[in-house]
C-alpha cells in the first residue's frame, strides 16, 4: 500500500505539472455545485446546521474515494493519482499569478481586476496595480499551502481519502467560511474544519518555503525570521505563516487594508521591505514552484516510508 500511495502521489504531481486543472468536468467545480445545492436546501443561521452541512459534504466524497481505492496496487495508484491531480492546483495557480504580472505591467487594470476575482475574496474593482500585485502574491502564497501542501501532506499520511477530505474542506471554507452576516454561524463549522486540516499543512509549507528560498536564490534566513516573527499576527491561524515566509524570502512587505464587500479589514504587516512589485510577483511564482517541488519530494518519500 505504501508504494501504491507513493507512486500515485508522484503521478498526481506529474499530471498537474503537465496538464494543470481539467478544462471541463473538474471534480472540485462539481463538488462546489453540489455544495451550493445542499446549502440552498439546508441553510439556517445555525452553527449546528453548518457543522452537519460541512461534515456530510466532506465525509461522503471521502468515503466514496476510500471505497473506490480498495483493491490491488494498480487500482490504488490510479485512485490516488486521479484524486491527487484533481486536488492539486499548482500549475493553474502560478499561471494565473504570472498573467496578473503581465496585465499590470501592460497597464490593463480592468482585465487585471477581473482576473483577481478568481484569486481573492476581497473587492477588486477599485484596486490599483500595486494592490492587485499584493493580492496576487498573497493568494499565491496562501494557495501554495492550500492547493499543494495540504493535498500532498494528507495524501502522504492518509492516501486519496486524506487528499479529498482536505480539498473538500478547503473548498467549503472558501464558499461559506467568510465572516459575513449570512455565514457567521452557518460557516463556522466549515471554517474550523479547514483550520484544523490546514494547520499542519501551513507549517510544513512555510518550512518548505525556507528550503525553497535557499534553492532558488532568495533569502532563506529572511523567510525563517518573518515566519517566526510575523506569522501569528495574521487573523488566520494558517495563512499568515506561509504569507510571512514568502514575504521574508522575497524581501517585501505584505498586508494592508482589504475590502470584503464593504467590510474593511486592516491586515497586519508581514515581512519587511517595500510593497511587492510585478518583479517580486514573478519571483514568487518561481518560489512557489520550488516550494511545490520540495513538498512533492518529501510527500513521496514519506508515503513510501509509511
pLDDT of residue 291: 98
Please classify residue 200 by burial: count the beta carbons closer than 10 Å to its beta carbon, then call 0-12 exposed, 13-18 middle and 19+ buried. middle
pLDDT of residue 64: 95
DSSP-derived pairing of the beta strands 263-271 and 253-260: antiparallel
Positions of the chain with pLDDT under 70? 1, 23, 306
pLDDT of residue 69: 84
Q: Measure the CA–CA gap between 5 and 290, rounded to whole angstroms.
A: 22
Q: Are 196 and 172 in contact (CB under 8 A)?
A: no
The count of domains in the chain is: 1
pLDDT of residue 192: 95
Quick one: which of 37, 38, 141 has its CA closest to 93?
141
pLDDT of residue 306: 66
- What tens digit of pLDDT does each residue of 156-169 get? 999 999 999 999 99
| Cβ-Cβ contacts under 8 Å for 214 (sequence gap 6 or more) | 220
Here the cell at position 44 is 439556517
| Cβ-Cβ contacts under 8 Å for 277 (sequence gap 6 or more) | 130, 133
| Domain ranges, residue 276 | 2-305
Please classify residue 261 by burial: count the beta carbons closer than 10 Å to its beta carbon, then call 0-12 exposed, 13-18 middle and 19+ buried. exposed
* Stated pTM of the model: 0.92
Amino acid at each position: 500500500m505504501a508504494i501504491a500511495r507513493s507512486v500515485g502521489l508522484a503521478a498526481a504531481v506529474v499530471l498537474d505539472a503537465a496538464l494543470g486543472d481539467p478544462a471541463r468536468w473538474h471534480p472540485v467545480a462539481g463538488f462546489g455545485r453540489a455544495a451550493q445545492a445542499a446549502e440552498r436546501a439546508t441553510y439556517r443561521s445555525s452553527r449546528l446546521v453548518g457543522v452537519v452541512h460541512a461534515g456530510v459534504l466532506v465525509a461522503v466524497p471521502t468515503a466514496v474515494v476510500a471505497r473506490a481505492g480498495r483493491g490491488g496496487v494498480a487500482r490504488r495508484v490510479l485512485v490516488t493519482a486521479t484524486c491527487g491531480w484533481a486536488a492539486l492546483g499548482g500549475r493553474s495557480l502560478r499561471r494565473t499569478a504570472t498573467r496578473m504580472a503581465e496585465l499590470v505591467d501592460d497597464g490593463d487594470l480592468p482585465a487585471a481586476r477581473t482576473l483577481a476575482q478568481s484569486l481573492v475574496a476581497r473587492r477588486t474593482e477599485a484596486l490599483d496595480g500595486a494592490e492587485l500585485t499584493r493580492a496576487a502574491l498573497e493568494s499565491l502564497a496562501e494557495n501554495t499551502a492550500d492547493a499543494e501542501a495540504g493535498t500532498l501532506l494528507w495524501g502522504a499520511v492518509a492516501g486519496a481519502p486524506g487528499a479529498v477530505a482536505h480539498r473538500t474542506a478547503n473548498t467549503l471554507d472558501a464558499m461559506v467560511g467568510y465572516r459575513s452576516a449570512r455565514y457567521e454561524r452557518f460557516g463556522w463549522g466549515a471554517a474550523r474544519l479547514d483550520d484544523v486540516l490546514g494547520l499542519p499543512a501551513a507549517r510544513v509549507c512555510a518550512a518548505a518555503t525556507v528550503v525553497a528560498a535557499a534553492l532558488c536564490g532568495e533569502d532563506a534566513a529572511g523567510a525563517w525570521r518573518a515566519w517566526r516573527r510575523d506569522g501569528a499576527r495574521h487573523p488566520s491561524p494558517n495563512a499568515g505563516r506561509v504569507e510571512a515566509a514568502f514575504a521574508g524570502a522575497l524581501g517585501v512587505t505584505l498586508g494592508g487594508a482589504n475590502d470584503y464587500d464593504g467590510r474593511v479589514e486592516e491586515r497586519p504587516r508581514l515581512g519587511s521591505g517595500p510593497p511587492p512589485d510585478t518583479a517580486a510577483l514573478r519571483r514568487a511564482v518561481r518560489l512557489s514552484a520550488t516550494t511545490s517541488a520540495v513538498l512533492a519530494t518529501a510527500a513521496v518519500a514519506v508515503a513510501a516510508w509509511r
